[in-house]
Structure 1
Amino acid sequence: MTSPRSFTHVDTWVFDLDNTLYPHHVNLWQQVDVRITEFVSSWLQVTPAEARKLQKDYYLRFGTTMRGMMTLHGVSADDYLAYVHRIDHSPLEPNPALGAAITKLPGRKLILTNGSVDHVDAVLARLGLNAHFDGVFDIIAAEFEPKPAERTYRKFLSDHAVDPTRAAMFEDLARNLTVPHALGMTTVLVVPDGTKEVVREDWELEGRDAAHVDHVTDDLTGFLGKLSR
């Protein structure tokens, strides 16, 4: 068994957004989830129950429900993103401790998300982290090909001139760390802290023991704080 990769060589820190930079139990993504069901139901003229099944099927098969709706039903990405990200961000609270921990990390800090830049901006504004990141690679930059597609990671690395062997990736979905690890990145899975109920599919909470997961944490702020020390 090989030892998990370390962080001593890392000069680029890559973060997912939802359920990574804020706690799972905020359940902000649950709001988006409900909006997606509404969109699918309205677009396909099916019941909410039928829409829910299709939504989850497309999520698993295509990486995002949006990709499935675009591929199979000709949905406009702009229309989809505008609708599903129209949510209440007020459950998010400023997190100056996380901001301080991110600031102390040596090198660049980037966001790699299946969401949109508009959603990223809204979330970071609520968290008070707007000034802490050097760039964002969103679903539009990915040409609507979501993680965990290898092409998306390679485009991210190219667009931002990132050497994967000198980068670390923080994610809440283990499957989204498979390619980064294969490319040479140090990988960190961010999991719920267990103090409050989270709304997730069972498969979304799997993978803690996967070979492509170097580290697991339920406290991102504390984890980063130890690294910077």
Structure 2
Amino acid sequence: MPHDLPHDLAAFRRVDTWVFDLDNTLYPPDSDLWPLIDARITAYMIAMFGLDGISARALQKHYYRVYGTTLAGLIREYDVKPEEFLHFVHDIDRSSLAPNPALEQAIDALPGRKLVLTNGSHAHALATSKQLGIDHLFEDFFAIEHADYLPKPALQTFQRFFERHDVDPAKSAMFEDMVHNLEAPHASGMLTVLVRPRHGAVDHREDWEKSSQKPPHVDFVTDDLVGFLRRVMTPPA
């Protein structure tokens, strides 16, 4: 059973802006999309450094953990052109990702604005949300380009997002699969929702990206995003 909604959903009555992470949030982490992207990043590292696969992947994951994304590490240490990197790693086949009419209906029913905030590229966010059948629901996609390639969990990235889209964090909610990416939004005044995989489902994320705990900066936890959004919109009895 999901252990979401441990306290009063009335907190969402103040929300007029709904903000969603993309990868492993709007689609589940048992999807093959992230492994496909991950493999493309490894291939980029192999080509760039002339390393074997194991060494390239180890360096890739080191940058990911230290800098928030592999790209951020490559920019910092090697002045890599981000546009080239993003085009390469997001050039994947998304056909395995089925449209999600239930998610479309649940997001559409939310009152107010809907935005995506992702460490991926704008093109990736648009293509992936279109494959899910939900692209038309979002006012805009705040992607890594708009953050000047500084990824979540950096507070500056959220501040840029708030300024770019005139978002009041005190009237906003953030849905995200990585617990540390919710620290800055919570500190800024947003309601925070950690989206976990269903019990027993395949989870392609790294072990350090997963969390079985509910730290204080997480307001709600759910393993059923559609069900959670429906319950948020259900009037109290």
Do these two structures clear the TM 0.5 threshold for a shared fold by scoring above it?
yes
Q: What is the letter of the counterpart of residue 153 of structure 1? A: F
Q: What is the letter of the counterpart of residue 192 of structure 1? A: P
Residues 142-181 of structure 1 mapped to structure 2, 5 A cutoff? 142-181=147-186
Rounded to whole Å, the distance in 1 between the matches of 2:92 and 2:190 is 33
Q: In the alignment, does 2:222 pair up with 1:217?
A: yes
Q: Equivalent residue for 2:52?
A: 47
CA displacement at 1:161 relative to structure 2: 0.4
Structure 1 residue ranges, 4+ long, deviating more than 4 angstroms after superposition: 2-5
Q: What is the letter of the counterpart of residue 94 of structure 1? A: P
Aligned length: 228
Q: Equivalent residue for 1:197?
A: 202
Q: What is the letter of the counterpart of residue 177 of structure 2? A: D
CA displacement at 1:206 relative to structure 2: 1.4
Superposed CA RMSD:
1.5
CA displacement at 1:68 relative to structure 2: 0.4
Rounded to whole Å, the distance in 1 between the matches of 2:152 and 2:127 is 21
Q: Encode CA deviations 1:78-135: one digit per residue, 9 max, x unaligned.
A: 1100110011101111111111111111110000000011101111111111211111
CA displacement at 1:5 relative to structure 2: 8.5
Q: Encode CA deviations 1:122-164: one digit per residue, 9 max, x unaligned.
A: 1111111121111111000001000011110000000000000
Rounded to whole Å, the distance in 1 between the matches of 2:10 and 2:69 is 29
Q: Encode CA deviations 1:162-214: one digit per residue, 9 max, x unaligned.
A: 00010000000000000000000000000010243221211111163111111
Q: In the alignment, does 2:144 pair up with 1:139?
A: yes
Q: What is the letter of the counterpart of residue 19 of structure 2? A: V
Q: Equivalent residue for 2:20?
A: 15
Q: Which of 57, 81, 102 is the matching residue for 1:97?
A: 102
Preserved contact between residue 9 and residue 232 of structure 2 (Cα < 8 Å): no
In terms of mean alpha carbon deviation, does 187-196 or 176-185 score higher? 187-196
Rounded to whole Å, the distance in 1 between the matches of 2:64 and 2:212 is 18
CA displacement at 1:4 relative to structure 2: 8.9
Relative to structure 1, the CA distance from residue 223 to residue 75 in structure 2 (aligned partners, 3 Å threshold; closer, same or farther) is same
**Identity within the alignment, %:** 48
User: Which ranges of structure 2 fall in alignment gaps of 5 or more residues?
Assistant: 1-6
Q: In the alignment, does 2:71 pair up with 1:66?
A: yes
Rounded to whole Å, the distance in 1 between the matches of 2:149 and 2:218 is 25
Give me the TM-score of the superposition, normalised by structure 1.
0.96
Preserved contact between residue 174 and residue 208 of structure 1 (Cα < 8 Å): no
Q: Equivalent residue for 1:116?
A: 121
Q: Which of 175, 181, 187 is the matching residue for 2:192?
A: 187
CA displacement at 1:27 relative to structure 2: 2.8
